[in-house]
């Protein structure tokens, strides 16, 4: 959808960004009387925060499977509100988004098992402890039985990113190479989906890096270029 992102309160004069609050009500005085001060821009991201602390507080009284199930639902609701274009600007892929998806898929795997090994339980609890802080366990701490959770999380992230890039390019005279590179990233993500995410975790991270490089090249930050994305894709083609 398109929104007028810059708003000004008619009561107290406070100015704010709808992309940050997701509300037309003034964050300073609470007045619903505000006016837009700019033109409508594409907005696929809503103001959403992932807070797993209430679930963590029940760790002593609940099984890991129960905690994971609750966290998975919270992550599902969070991701449903998130996107990658805010007020017409393409946003970076943040770790909380990827981590929320990984926890969601890990919860599904955990619920399918009769029992969890110690390293599996530690991995799920590590996700629960750190995902809402924007952290994921390193690849060497990922049990082989949960590799699919990471692969699927990355694949879903890439596909969601490509969806928003397609909406963004449709509204402007963007370099056609952006559309082509986004499609090729999506093709890799589809392959990962077909493998149920069962790929080497390092390969999954390379796919995620290529996606982030595309975003950086679009925004013109970090020195990234479309040629860098091309190079990342060439490397991925040899492993996927």
Looking at residues 23-47, what average pLDDT do you find?
80
Model-level pTM?
Answer: 0.87
Q: What angle do CA 14, 19, 25 make, to 5 degrees?
A: 45
Instruction: Give the separation between CA 75 and CA 104, rounded to whole angstroms.
Output: 6
Where do the structural domains in the chain lie, given as residue ranges? 2-39, 53-237
* Helix (H/G/I), strand (E/B), else coil: 15: strand
CB neighbour list of residue 109: distance below 8 Å, 6 or more residues apart: 145, 146, 148, 149
C-alpha distances out from residue 208 to 12, 39, 158, 232, Å: 43, 33, 7, 10
DSSP string, 179-236: HHHHHHHHHHHHHHHHTTT-S-HHHHHHHHHHHHHHHHHHHT-TT--HHHHHHHHHHH
CB neighbour list of residue 205: distance below 8 Å, 6 or more residues apart: 139, 154
Instruction: Give the separation between CA 122 and CA 129, rounded to whole angstroms.
Output: 10
10 against 127, higher pLDDT: 127
DSSP state of 143: -
Looking at residues 53-65, what average pLDDT do you find?
93
pLDDT of residue 5: 62
Looking at residues 176-195, what average pLDDT do you find?
97
Q: How confident is the model at residue 21 (pLDDT cuts 50, 70, 90)?
A: confident
pLDDT of residue 3: 60
């Amino acid at each position: 959808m398109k929104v007028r992102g810059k708003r000004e309160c008619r009561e107290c004069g406070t100015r704010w960004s709808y992309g940050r609050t997701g509300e037309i009500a003034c964050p300073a005085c609470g007045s619903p009387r505000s006016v837009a001060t700019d033109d409508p821009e594409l907005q696929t991201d809503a103001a959403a925060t992932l807070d797993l602390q209430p679930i963590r507080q029940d760790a002593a009284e609940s099984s890991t499977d129960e905690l994971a199930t609750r966290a998975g639902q919270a992550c599902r609701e969070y991701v449903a509100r998130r996107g990658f274009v805010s007020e017409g600007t393409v946003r970076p892929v943040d770790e909380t988004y990827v981590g929320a998806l990984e926890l969601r898929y890990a919860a599904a795997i955990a619920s399918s098992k009769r029992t969890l090994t110690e390293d599996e339980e530690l991995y799920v609890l590590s996700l629960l402890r750190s995902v809402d802080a924007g952290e994921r366990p390193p690849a060497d701490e990922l049990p082989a039985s949960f590799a699919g959770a990471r692969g699927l999380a990355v694949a879903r992230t890439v596909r969601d990113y490509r969806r928003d890039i397609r909406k963004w390019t449709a509204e402007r005279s963007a370099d056609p190479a952006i559309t082509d590179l986004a499609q090729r990233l999506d093709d890799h993500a589809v392959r990962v989906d077909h493998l149920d995410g069962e790929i080497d975790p390092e390969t999954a991270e390379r796919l995620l890096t290529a996606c982030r490089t595309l975003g950086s090249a679009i925004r013109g930050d970090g020195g990234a270029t479309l040629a860098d994305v091309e190079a990342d894709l060439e490397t991925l083609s040899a492993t996927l």
